[in-house]
Structure formats: C-alpha cells, structure tokens
C-alpha cells in the first residue's frame, strides 16, 4: 500500500480558554476546524476531504479531560476524555458499564489513546460506536457558546450524517449521563467486517432494568447505529416489549419490528437486506442476553 500524501498545510493553535475559541471562530470561522483526537479529521484531511487554515486544539481547555461522578447526578465526562481513559475509569466500569463495552469496540488500543468521546459524538457518524449506548443511557451534551453554556438531550443532537445541532461558534464541553435505573444491565453488540478497526455494519445497544409498573416486569431501551441517517432509539419497540410478559416469541417480534424501523442504505460494507437482517439478529441477541442477565441477577 502506498503511503498517503502528507497532511496539507495548516496552522496549529491550542485554545487556552473558551473565549479563545469564540474569538477565533468569529474572526476566522470559515478557516477553523476544531481538533480533538484527530483520528478521523487527519485521515479526512490526508484524503483531501477536509481542509483547514487553522486547527484549533480544544483538548487542553479546563475540564475537557475530567470525569466526575456523584450518586445524585450521575457522571459528567469531559469531551476530550479518551476512549481508553473512559473505558478504564472505575466510575464508568461500576455504573455505566455499557459505555466501557462500547469504547472497547472502537478501532484498536493505540487509536483509543487518541480518540475522544466528544469527537466520536460530534463527528455525528451514523455508525458511531459510542452513540447507541449514549442514547440508551439518555445522555445530555453540554455545549459552550459565546452566550454561555446550554444542555441538550443527545436524541436532539444529531440531525443528519455528519451534522449536529451545534450552532456556529459553539463546541461540546462534556457529556452527562444520569445514573441508570436501579438494577440496569446493558449490552452493546457490534458487527463489523472484521474485529479490527472496522466501522459498525450494525451496532445495537440494549439497556434493561426491572420495572414492576409494566406487565413485562422489565423495561428495555434500544439504540441502533449504522442503519439510518442518525443513530436512533426505537420507542415503539420498547413499548411493545413493556406491554406483555416476556418470552422468546415477544423478543423475536420486537426484533422484527426494529428491523422494520431500520432504514439502512447500501454501501461498501453491506447490502440493505443484510443490514436489516442483522438489526433483527443483533436486537434479538442483545435483548436475550440482557433479559437472561436480569433474570439471573
């Protein structure tokens, strides 16, 4: 394989304060690209798909690499926390295990020393591995702009492939997750062409937790990637599962419904039919695994 051409010319700048970011974006907006881990941006720049006059590094802004947890509020993860830091952090492994699981499926170990949670979410790839778990954990993103900080539910954040609800001059500072309901169990299942470094053909995150208020006794949340313009939940399927006592047949029916909702496009990795069938299979497998774990715990 021939080496790629080097990175195109740009100026690297390290943001010292949020004001630095707003000022530069205001003065030279069109030329500026925001840099986190760069694992996608550098590849895109080398391939000629992205260019920038200035790369503005946000990693060193205050709080961007912090993780804080409280029993009351849950966890706040700085946007520049790397996926390896996230995966190994005791508050994540103890309370948000599905985030660790998801992080471990991204690329490879050395890549995850650079790739960040914020980068993965802001990239708004339909196949983002952190997104299904972030959705079922009902995360919120903190966005910083010249008018101050605002918080947005993640299900409002992605508006299309590569597109987010970030306004001009805004950037993501952190992602917050409330504590999952008591007794919750989560599972992220990813299908790629190979185990190494590949993007998800389909990824399904399932979170289940006991809920005596519903006939099923368990509530599920399901997040799916790679099979629509954005990563999505399937509330109609979640409702269906809550309505009746659980059985393999109900799980199969629900997985079939998830397959109907999915809207993949044919691409280099898989056909539409294959992706839809894999939504069916992975949803069933995820539901079954979580259900079994809940019954046995």
Partner 1 sequence: MVIHQISLIINGTEEGLQVPSNMTLLHALRDKLGFTGTKNGCEAGECGACTVLVDGEPMNSCLVLAVELNGREITTVEGLAENGKLTPLQQAFADLNAVQCGYCTPGMLMSATALLRRNPQPSEVDIQEALLGNLCRCTGYQRIIDAVLKASRNGGAK
* By the rule CB under 8 A, 28 interacts with partner 1: no
CA-CA distances (angstroms) from residue 286 to 103, 118, 174, 262, 281? 17, 26, 28, 16, 9
* By the rule CB under 8 A, 268 interacts with partner 1: no
* By the rule CB under 8 A, 1 interacts with partner 1: yes
Separation CA 171–CA 88 (nearest Å): 25
Closer of 110 and 182 to partner 1 (Cβ) = 110
Which residue matches tokens 């299904």?
Answer: 132
In the complex, least distance from residue 109 CB atom to partner 1, rounded to whole angstroms? 6
Pick the binder of partner 1 from 162, 183, 197, 215 (CB under 8 A).
197
Interface stretch with partner 1, choices 34-42, 135-143, 239-247, 257-265 (CB under 8 A) = 34-42
CA-CA distances (angstroms) from residue 189 to 29, 55, 158, 221? 39, 34, 21, 14
Binding to partner 1, residues 157-196 (CB under 8 A): 195-196
* By the rule CB under 8 A, 48 interacts with partner 1: no
* By the rule CB under 8 A, 33 interacts with partner 1: no
- As given in the structure block, the two tokens for residue 109 are 């170990």
Closer of 111 and 265 to partner 1 (Cβ) = 111
Its sign, for the CA torsion 189, 193, 197, 199, is negative
* By the rule CB under 8 A, 107 interacts with partner 1: yes
Pick the binder of partner 1 from 23, 31, 33, 42 (CB under 8 A).
42
Interface stretch with partner 1, choices 15-23, 106-114, 146-154, 173-181 (CB under 8 A) = 106-114
* By the rule CB under 8 A, 247 interacts with partner 1: no
Closer of 8 and 62 to partner 1 (Cβ) = 8
Q: Are 133 and 101 in contact (CB under 8 A)?
A: yes
Q: Beta strand 54-57 with 11-14: parallel, antiparallel or unpaired?
A: parallel
Q: Are 41 and 49 in contact (CB under 8 A)?
A: no
Pick the binder of partner 1 from 94, 108, 236, 293 (CB under 8 A).
108
Closer of 48 and 197 to partner 1 (Cβ) = 197
* By the rule CB under 8 A, 39 interacts with partner 1: yes
Pick the binder of partner 1 from 49, 110, 182, 296 (CB under 8 A).
110
Q: Are 106 and 199 in contact (CB under 8 A)?
A: no
* By the rule CB under 8 A, 55 interacts with partner 1: yes
Pick the binder of partner 1 from 19, 73, 94, 109 (CB under 8 A).
109
Rounded to 10°, the helix 272-296/248-261 angle is 140
> Applying CB under 8 A, what is the total number of residues that bind partner 1?
29
Q: DSSP for 165-202? A: SPPTT-EEEEEEEPPPPTT-EEEEEEE-SSSSSPPPSE
Which residues are 145's β-sheet partners? 148
Among 262, 282, 276, CA closest to 206: 282
* Chain residues in the site for partner 1 (CB under 8 A): 1, 3-4, 6-12, 37-39, 42-43, 46, 55, 57, 84, 107-111, 113-114, 195-197
């Amino acid at each position: 394989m021939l080496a790629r051409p080097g990175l195109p010319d740009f100026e690297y700048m390290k943001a010292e304060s949020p004001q630095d970011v707003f000022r530069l974006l205001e003065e030279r907006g069109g030329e500026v690209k925001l840099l986190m881990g760069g694992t996608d941006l550098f590849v895109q720049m080398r391939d000629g798909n992205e260019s920038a006059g200035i790369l503005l590094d946000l990693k060193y802004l205050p709080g961007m690499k912090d993780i804080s947890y409280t029993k009351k509020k849950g966890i706040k993860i700085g946007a520049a926390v790397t996926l390896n830091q996230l995966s190994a952090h005791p508050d994540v492994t103890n309370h948000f295990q599905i985030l660790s699981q998801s992080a471990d499926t991204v690329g490879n170990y050395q890549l995850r020393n650079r790739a960040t949670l914020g980068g993965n979410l802001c990239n708004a790839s339909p196949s983002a591995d952190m997104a299904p778990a972030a959705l079922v954990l009902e995360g919120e993103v903190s966005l910083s702009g010249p008018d101050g900080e605002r918080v947005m539910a993640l299900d409002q954040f992605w508006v299309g492939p590569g597109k987010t609800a970030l306004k001009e001059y805004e950037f993501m500072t952190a992602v917050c997750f409330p504590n999952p309901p008591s007794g919750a169990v989560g599972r992220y299942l990813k299908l790629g062409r190979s185990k190494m470094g590949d993007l998800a053909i389909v990824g399904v995150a399932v979170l289940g937790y006991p809920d005596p208020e519903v006939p099923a006794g368990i509530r599920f949340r399901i997040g799916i990637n790679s099979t629509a313009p954005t990563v999505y939940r399937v509330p109609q399927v979640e409702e269906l599962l809550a309505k009746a006592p659980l059985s393999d047949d109900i799980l199969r029916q629900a997985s079939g419904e998830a397959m109907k909702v999915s809207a993949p496009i044919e691409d280099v990795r898989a056909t539409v039919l294959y992706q839809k069938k894999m939504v069916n299979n992975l949803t069933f497998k995820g539901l079954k695994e979580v259900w079994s774990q809940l019954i046995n715990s």
